[in-house]
Amino acid sequence: MAEEDLQLFLLKVQQLNALVSSLDADPERRRQLAACSDHNAVVQLARLWGFRIDRRWGEASVEGPRLSNLLAEPLAASGHEIEEELCSGEGWRLMRISSNGSRSPDGFWYQQKEHEWLTLLKGSALLSLEDPEECVELSVGDQLMLSAGRRHRVERTDAHPGTVWLALYWNESPSEHPVQSIV
């Protein structure tokens, strides 16, 4: 192990020991930590308490190359949605969307000028589509392609722990590449 890796490892051990000591002194913290469902939730909670246990020793931290986990980012507030642009280029953008028990407002329909491909990384959702009219139930791993201009709305997303979408939007002449709905 290189000296730099050894120092990172020892720093993480120190932070973990301090975290454990704080649990002994605060039963509420112990309860909150026990309620975490995965490693990323533990790291996030520890960070809120001021402990830097990072993801895993030896992996890049926020000071190093930008490393993120699409499922570990914060969840939207109940009834809401958060959109985050992950990357973009000329005529396209890739978005991470976090939904928490949300739906489109009554009477509202999305009708975008861009094509949209989406997939669910976490949770489930129910969409209503027009022309032709259909309801589509999406679960983890399902993907859907929507042509530019196709009206659609979100009828339901999962409440906590929420629904996480990955959506790609792009501009393109429909005559160049016909886009069909994949269900």
pTM higher than the cut 0.85: no
Amino acid at 76: A
| Candidate from 39-43, 140-144, 160-164 with smallest mean pLDDT | 39-43
* Per-domain residue ranges of the chain: 3-48, 80-170
| Range 36-56 average pLDDT | 75
Higher pLDDT, 181 or 28: 28
User: Closest by alpha carbon to 127, among 135, 119, 117?
Assistant: 135
> Do 149 and 113 contact (CB within 8 A), yes or no?
yes
> Which H or E run contains 146?
strand 143-146
Distance CA 76, CA 97 (A): 9
In whole angstroms, what is the distance from residue 110 CA to residue 128 CA? Answer: 10
Helix (H, G, I), strand (E, B) or coil at 24: helix
Q: Is the domain defined by 80-170 classed in CATH 2.60.120.10? A: yes
Rounded-to-integer distance, Cα 176 and Cα 157, Å: 33
